[in-house]
Amino acid sequence: MTPALDTPVLIAGGGPTGLVLASVLAANGVNCLLAERNPSTTRFPKMDITHGPSMELLRRLSVDQELRRVGVASQFSFDVIFAPGLNGPEVGRWRLPSVDEQRAALAKSVDGSRPGQPWQRLSQALFEKVLMERCQRDPLIDVHQGWRLESCSEIDGAVEATLVGAGDDSTTVRAGYLIGCDGASSRVRNELGIAMTGAPEFTHFALVHFRSPDMANLHALGQFWHLFFTSGVAVIAQDEVDTWTLHVDLGPELSEEDPIGDPREFVLRALGRPIEITGVLASSIWRPTALLADSYGRGRILLAGDAVHTMIPTGGYGMNTGLGDAFNLGWKLAAVVRGWGGQTLLDSYEQERRPVGERNRDVSLENAVVHLQYRAMADGDLIMADSADGTAHRAALGEFLAANDGENLSLGIELDVRYDNSPIVCTPDGQAPPWDRRTFVPTVRAGHRAPNIVVGPDETLFDSFGPGFTLVDACRHPEAKRLVDGAVLSGIPLHHLVVEDSRCRELYENQLVLVRPDLHIAWSGTTVTDAAAIIERARGAA
Ligand SMILES: Cc1cc2nc3c(=O)[nH]c(=O)nc-3n(C[C@H](O)[C@H](O)[C@H](O)COP(=O)(O)OP(=O)(O)OC[C@H]3O[C@@H](n4cnc5c(N)ncnc54)[C@H](O)[C@@H]3O)c2cc1C
């Protein structure tokens, strides 16, 4: 056994959630130890869309440009095509804009109803690589790749954990806090005895990640991001160069021990059209689930990401929700470690994030049902028929898909995240705008996500925010000073941002708005009756 290690925060799991959490802690000046059981980051593509609001958060870590550099080039659409096969006929298309097109649309959108940053196509393998290299470069993050967390418990006001490395070498870690970001089969969650409830594994998918430069055949229906066959086959364009992923729904029962066999043959059979394959990068069987943990942790041991919520990939909510957890928890943990955060801060993590995990899990299932209905509706013969009945059948499928196109058009899910009953949010006045899955109504109501707009070439209002709290002063109110003084007294990092631009003042309703480091509103108003009470609540000490 190697000697014990001491750290304020131990993170188990270096997937997207753990990597981002470590980065947020470091950005707030807090050390952590990141233990990842695998010696290298994932080779499996998995996540392939990072939503605009996640890109806004990642920009606060100054990692957005690097992710865009390695991700899919900005001119390519996010189009989703539905067809019986590569040869068509196309029965439906969700037209989804490229990064360039979305960026142009966001620049014209002046009402704050959209995120400030466009979305990004990017495989999880690349996302993890970029974030891991960033963590390795950061002197505040002690990265231990190839070390798995074996056991953990809370003892005498700290956490003790055992890590096991190569050759069964083991070490003990004493940490102020342990965060289990160790994925769907979380060891940390199991150690705490916390159950997951929802829709367990209900089918099997075969995945083959392969290289092919054969655009002539793969793009027979035109460029696409996702192509869904009626047979339960999906093709994902990973980089618009030569990398693709094939997913095949094999159903709840597997009839063969090795359903993929030769991955090349498997791809050719599934695509039904000969294509040139120049390499197989990975293949596996995976099982989607939609589950939520009964609790997000206990005491000094907390959980985040897939360790507390698993989702069907339809909509791309899994990692994006995990990033939301990491940004929510990261500043709170840092505040507690640095001494300015009160106890309620950590309690608020579950109160704020579990309802979001539950909602997104449920909507990922709703999205999946659309695909199941499309497949059930499609008649294999009629869809190909050169007849009036065939035309009518294809039109009916197209109408169904057009009427159910919310999978990647759900700003309500991606952006309208509200922490209504949070103990660290000041009780807002007035009625909240109604929640709607497809839209985001900008508001400065406490608990809601702060609104953002583009203010210049590659610049949004959020770029003027501080790394900690920001007091957006859209009314040049003399009482702002009382909040600034209160923050200084409590040690809260706060940037006082006086907004001059008339559009931004209007967007912030000519009020004073206290925005948290995770871009949620802690308080807003035009008079500061009790600055100390606002600050105490925002820092979890009320
Ligand atoms: C086909 C597919 C497509 C997807 N598409 C999207 C998408 O477009 N958008 C989206 O947001 N999400 C998507 N997802 C979901 C996304 O992949 C997950 O939500 C995301 O990986 C969760 O990140 P995580 O860090 O919480 O967990 P994980 O990625 O599972 O990472 C957990 C990490 O912990 C490590 N670990 C496990 N046990 C231990 C231990 N005992 N000690 C130390 N380390 C340990 C693991 O090795 C792993 O690196 C998709 C998933 C799939 C399968």
- Give dist(CA 141, CA 135) in Å, integer: 6
Pocket residues: Cβ below 6 A from ligand 1: 12-18, 35-38, 46-49, 124, 148-149, 181-183, 187, 286, 305-306, 313, 316-320, 322
Residues 176 and 134 reside in one and the same domain: yes
Minimal CA–CA distance to 207: which of 243, 238, 234, 228? 234
Residues 208 and 249 reside in one and the same domain: yes
Cβ burial 434-450 (10 Å sphere, 16+ → b, else e): eeeeebbbbbbbbbbbb
Helical packing angle, 318-338 and 343-377, nearest 10°: 180
Burial of 42 (0-12, 13-18, 19+ CB in 10 A): buried
Q: Atom 35 of ligand 1 has which residue's CA nearest to it?
A: 13
Both tokens of residue 341?
A: 């955060």
| Residues of the chain below pLDDT 50 | none
Cα-to-centroid distance, 292 and ligand 1 (Å): 15
- Give dist(CA 87, CA 222) in Å, integer: 11
Q: Which residue has the tokens 């989702």?
A: 311
CB atoms within 10 A of CB 360: 24
Residues 39 and 137 reside in one and the same domain: yes
Q: Where are the alpha helices (DSSP H) in 303-419?
A: 318-338, 343-377, 388-403, 411-414
Q: Atom 53 of ligand 1 has which residue's CA nearest to it?
A: 46
Q: Which of 287, 303, 318 is the last residue of a domain?
A: 287
Query: pTM score, two decimals?
Result: 0.97
Q: What are the distances in angstroms from CA 174 to CA 129, 156, 169?
A: 28, 11, 17
CB atoms within 10 A of CB 358: 14
Hey, what amino acid is at 131?
A: L
Both tokens of residue 294?
A: 């009964």
Cα-to-centroid distance, 16 and ligand 1 (Å): 7
Site to substitute for ligand 1 among 190, 283, 306, most atoms within 8 A of C-beta: 306
pLDDT tens for each residue of 277-310: 999 999 999 999 999 999 999 999 999 999 999 9
pLDDT of residue 196: 97
| Residue 292 contacts residue 196 (beta carbons within 8 Å) | yes
Cα-to-centroid distance, 210 and ligand 1 (Å): 20
Cα-to-centroid distance, 323 and ligand 1 (Å): 11
Residues 225 and 319 reside in one and the same domain: no
Residues 14 and 141 reside in one and the same domain: yes
Minimal CA–CA distance to 248: which of 262, 264, 266? 266
Contact partners, residue 120, CB within 8 Å, separation at least 6: 49, 50, 55, 67, 68, 71, 72, 99
Atom of ligand 1 nearest to the CA of 19: 25
Q: Which of 377, 411, 445 is the last residue of a domain?
A: 411
| Residue 282 contacts residue 263 (beta carbons within 8 Å) | no
Site to substitute for ligand 1 among 11, 72, 124, most atoms within 8 A of C-beta: 124
Cα-to-centroid distance, 422 and ligand 1 (Å): 27
Atom of ligand 1 nearest to the CA of 147: 43
Helical packing angle, 318-338 and 52-60, nearest 10°: 30
pLDDT of residue 199: 86
Residues 402 and 325 reside in one and the same domain: no
Site to substitute for ligand 1 among 37, 50, 187, 301, most atoms within 8 A of C-beta: 37
Q: What are the distances in angstroms from CA 426 to CA 252, 508, 533?
A: 48, 17, 9
523: DSSP letter = E
Atom of ligand 1 nearest to the CA of 321: 11
Residues 320 and 463 reside in one and the same domain: no
CATH number at residue 493: 3.40.30.120
Q: Atom 30 of ligand 1 has which residue's CA nearest to it?
A: 183
Cα-to-centroid distance, 218 and ligand 1 (Å): 28
Contact partners, residue 266, CB within 8 Å, separation at least 6: 206, 208, 246, 248, 260, 283
Residues 358 and 256 reside in one and the same domain: no
Q: Atom 51 of ligand 1 has which residue's CA nearest to it?
A: 46
Question: Structural domain tally of the chain?
Answer: 4
- Give dist(CA 461, CA 440) in Å, integer: 17
Q: Atom 49 of ligand 1 has which residue's CA nearest to it?
A: 15
Residues 175 and 135 reside in one and the same domain: yes
Residues 300 and 380 reside in one and the same domain: no
Q: Which residue has the tokens 């990017």?
A: 122
Q: Which domain holds residue 510?
A: 416-538
| Residue 443 contacts residue 95 (beta carbons within 8 Å) | no
Report the DSSP pairing between strands 158-164 and 92-94: unpaired
Cα-to-centroid distance, 132 and ligand 1 (Å): 14
pLDDT of residue 4: 77
pLDDT of residue 3: 60
pLDDT tens for each residue of 88-124: 999 999 999 999 999 999 999 989 999 999 999 999 9
Cα-to-centroid distance, 147 and ligand 1 (Å): 17
Atom of ligand 1 nearest to the CA of 317: 11
Atom of ligand 1 nearest to the CA of 286: 53
DSSP string, 190-235: HHHT--EEEE----EEEEEEEE---HHHHTTT---SEEEETTSEEE
CATH number at residue 217: 3.30.9.10
- Give dist(CA 534, CA 486) in Å, integer: 9
Residues 442 and 488 reside in one and the same domain: yes
CATH number at residue 168: 3.50.50.60
Report the DSSP pairing between strands 204-211 and 170-180: unpaired
Cα-to-centroid distance, 168 and ligand 1 (Å): 24
Cα-to-centroid distance, 189 and ligand 1 (Å): 15
Atom of ligand 1 nearest to the CA of 186: 38
Site to substitute for ligand 1 among 185, 314, 319, most atoms within 8 A of C-beta: 319
Atom of ligand 1 nearest to the CA of 318: 19
Q: Atom 42 of ligand 1 has which residue's CA nearest to it?
A: 148
Residues 193 and 131 reside in one and the same domain: yes
Q: Which of 338, 362, 386 is the last residue of a domain?
A: 362
- Give dist(CA 180, CA 305) in Å, integer: 9
